[in-house]
Chain A
Amino acid sequence: MSNNLGELYEEEAIREFGAALRRALRTESVKDFASLTEIDRANSKNDLAEAIKTFLRRYESAASKRHWTRPEVKHLEQLMKFTDKYDLDVVKAALISHALTKKS
């Protein structure tokens, strides 16, 4: 298990999901803080998969109205693979950290 948060932060799948999370948080009429909390509280790989699933459902409804890009299936697969390679807390922190940046 690796703990390198800096390395994981730059992975493509994390960037894609992080950007989607940031968009959903920063858009005034969406402000999806609930998904962020669910991701933060996930205690197992299954919990995280469930939280991501819920997030994608909410994201889809907002994205369809606003022409936002969506994370692709390959990104989802890659994200789940990271939970085997990295500590779960590191994966969660990498996703959440993207919400602290300016770039969308």
Chain B
Amino acid sequence: MLNFYVNKSGRPIFDLEIAYGLGRFIYTVSGEEGISKNTWILDKGNKYLIKTTATKNEFLKETKSDKEIMALISDDMPFPRKRYIKYIQKYLEDLLDKEISQLLWQRHFNGKYKEINEKLEYKSLYQDLEPSGAKSLTMPVIGDKKYSEGNTKKANKLDIVLATIGFDGFAYRGFIGKGDKSKQVTIFPNPDSVHGIRVDRHFIIKSELKSRWFKSNLGVKVMLAKALLKIHQLLWMKKRTDEWEDTYNSVNYALFEPTGNQPKPGESGELSINLLKELIKTDEGKHIFERLLKLINQNENYGNGELALRLSQFIFDTNLENWNMYAMEHIRTSLEPKMKISSYKENEIKEVLKNVK
């Protein structure tokens, strides 16, 4: 088993994308046709650990052709601004000339970060990959006599390429609202520190979800709650049918506001999914995920939107105050004559309450 590391640099989404990108790269280049090497991604606090069953030889000899590696950055990847993709594909071509596997081995296996970074060219960090890369967020302009857009943040080509490979393979997309004014959201589930996520299994979840796009008119948390509930419904099934241990610990997200020209970064952050992580372990989990999804869907468009909002807030922050706010809204709504809303079974509510802090 080989262990690779990605140090966290304080750019949360970018770091996660690099880790996923490295995991996907190792998984892709190390396996012979039809036999891929199992590769896991784990969040170890100050760094990501990527462990693989591939050997040093299998990784360095790259069983895949340059063309197959180039396919890791697809033309139709769901980037908010597609025009950047061709630049990043060019970076990957350059890195293939410099033997990218050797660079990755030295930098992420042997930890020779400084030495390798000095050899690499630095380019603008696109806000699509990391919201804090947006120019207007990099320096204060209030009080300045002259207007300034600020400076562009930089990252080296290798990180930009890995992050793009990670983004293409692992990000889910969401939309808030409808039409031209809809806000775009990038969703990144974060692996846990014990089991992590096996690269191929993430792809299975993505392909088995009926849609890679999640929508809501009510806001980011409702959309994220729907997305994470669907992902965990599938994980619950896989845990029982195929004995998967894969676990997500939190979800990173970044919202982009539409403007007349290019989308601008809006809110972003990391939300805990401790409740969902715990419910996966229970037999009732399947029914609870269904119930929570039903309650959100029932109330999102035609019922009481406030209930969907409060329930979503509770899912990501399972404290007593949020539970009380949600429970009172649920009861109030259920008393409305025309509202038929789903009620919990005894066993379901017991499992939920065990996790209220």
Contact = CB atoms under 8 A, between A and B. Distances in A.
B327 A102 contact: no
Contacts of B355: 6
Interface in B309-326: 320-321, 323-324
B209 interface: no
Contact of B344 (A3, A33, A94, A101): A101
Contact of B328 (A40, A90, A94, A102): A40
A89 B324 CA distance: 9
A93 B349 CA distance: 12
B81 interface: no
B210 interface: no
A9 interface: yes
A51 interface: no
B287 interface: no
Interface string A25-65: 10000010100100010000000000000000000000000
A31 B349 CA distance: 22
A38 to B, nearest CB: 12
Interface string A3-26: 101100110000000000000010
A103 B344 CA distance: 9
B357 A97 contact: no
B346 interface: yes
A92 interface: yes
Contact of B353 (A5, A36, A103): A5
Given A6-B350, A96-B327, A102-B343, 14 more contacts: A5-B353, A6-B351, A6-B354, A10-B350, A25-B331, A36-B328, A36-B331, A90-B320, A94-B353, A96-B324, A96-B328, A97-B323, A99-B327, A101-B343
Contacts of A101: 343-346, 349
Mostly, the B contact residues are helix
Q: Which 8 A-B pairs have the closest CB atoms?
A: A6-B354, A6-B353, A102-B343, A5-B356, A5-B353, A99-B331, A101-B344, A9-B353
A38 B335 CA distance: 17
A1 interface: no
Interface residues of A, number: 22
Interface of A: 3, 5-6, 9-10, 25, 31, 33, 36, 40, 89-90, 92-94, 96-97, 99-103
B212 interface: no
B90 interface: no
Interface string B39-78: 0000000000000000000000000000000000000000
Contacts of B324: 40, 89, 92-93, 96
A100 B326 CA distance: 10
Contacts of A94: 353
Contact of B335 (A31, A40, A90): A31
B345 A93 contact: no
Contacts of B335: 25, 31, 33
Contact of A93 (B343, B350, B356): B356
9 contacts: A6-B354, A25-B331, A36-B328, A40-B324, A90-B320, A93-B324, A93-B356, A96-B328, A102-B346
B356 A100 contact: no
B349 A100 contact: yes
B332 interface: yes
B331 A6 contact: no
